[in-house]
Amino acid sequence: MGISAEEFRFVADLIRAEAAIVLDAGKEYLVETRLGPVAHQLGLGTISTLVAELRTRRNPALLTRVVDAMTTNETSFFRDVQPFEHLKRKVFPELIERRRAEKKLSIWCAAASSGQEPYSMAMLLRENFPELAGWRVEFLATDISTQVLAKAREGIYSQLEVNRGLPAPLLVKYFRKHGLEWQVDSSLRSMIQWREFNLASKTFPPMGPFDLIMLRNVMIYFDVPTKRSILGNMRRVLRPDGYLFLGTAETTINVDDNFASDTLHTACYRLKAA
C-alpha cells in the first residue's frame, strides 16, 4: 500500500531532523521501498502503522531502524579509482615526508558505509608504504548507520561485493574464505576503529586533528546550509596542511571558499591558508 502525502511529509521531516538527509517530493517511492520491509520485519504490517508508531511512541530503537533504512549505503572497493591514485602518488608521500619527525598519521573516513572505502585505504597503505610499520597510524571510520558499521567491523563481503573494484591479488593477500563469502584478515581489521557518528549532529565532539579526511558521496544528501556547517566542522578538525576528499560529484565551490582544489583529477581539497 502506498504512503499518503502527509505520512511522507512526516517521514521526510523526521529524517531531515535526525540525519539532515533531504527527501524531496517525488521520493515517496524511496520511503515506500525502504520502510515497507522494516514494517514487515517488525510485524507492523504497513508503513502507515509504522508511521503511527513513530508518531506516538518516539521509540528510539524504531527511530534508529528507520534512519538506518533511509540511508543510501552504495559503495565499493577503490571506488572511482582516481582518488586512490591521488592518495598513492601525492597525498600519502607528502604526508609521510612532512610527518617524518613525529611518525604519526591520523585519518578519518567520515561516511564509511560497509567498510569498502577504509579497507581500500588500509590495503593501499600496506601495499605502498611499508615504512609506516613503525608509525602510529590512527584510522577512524564512522557512519550514522549502525547496520553498515556492524558489517564493516566484521569485514565480511559476498563474492559480488569483492568483484566490485577489488584486484584479485589483494583479495588473495588480505581476505580469507568465510563460507561462501570473504573476510578481511584480522591484521587489516585491527588498523581501523569503527564508531557511530552523525555528521549533522548539533554538538560536534572534540576530535582530531586529522591529516586526511574522506567525506565522499555523503554531502549530496544534504542541503547547502548543512553542507556549509559540516565543511566548517571539517576545517576545525583538519590539520592546516591536511587533505579533504569529497565524492566525484561533490565540491566545496559555492559552499565554503576556505578550501582550494588540490588537483584537477579528483575531488581533493586543502585549506587555502596552508
Contact residues toward ligand SAM (CB under 6 A) are 19-21, 71-75, 79, 111, 113, 117, 143-145, 148, 197-200, 216-218, 221, 247
Residue 99 falls in the annotated catalytic set: no
Place of cell 517488525: 42
Beta carbon of residue 265, minimum distance to ligand SAM (angstroms, whole number): 17
CB of 117 to ligand SAM, least distance (A): 5
Closest CB to ligand SAM among residues 88, 164: 164
34 included as an active-site residue: yes
Of 155, 108, 106, 156, the C-alpha closest to 132 is 106
Q: Where does residue 130 rank: exposed (0-12), middle (13-18), buried (19+ CB within 10 A)?
A: exposed
| Complex with ligand SAM: residue 99 or 255, whichever CB lies closer | 255
- In the complex, what is the shortest distance from the CB of residue 249 to ligand SAM, in angstroms, rounded to a whole number? 10
End-to-end CA distance of the chain: 55
Report the residue number, 67 or 188, with the smaller CB distance to ligand SAM: 67
The amino acid sitting at 116 is Q
Smallest gap from Cβ 213 to ligand SAM, in A, equals 11
| Cα–Cα distance, 213 to 209 (Å, whole number) | 10
Taken in order 171, 173, 177, 183, is the CA torsion positive or negative? Answer: negative
Cell triple for 173: 593477500
Pick between residue 86 and residue 216 the one whose CB is nearest to ligand SAM: 216
Choosing from 65, 68, 79, 143, the catalytic residue is: 143
Residues with catalytic annotation? 34, 143
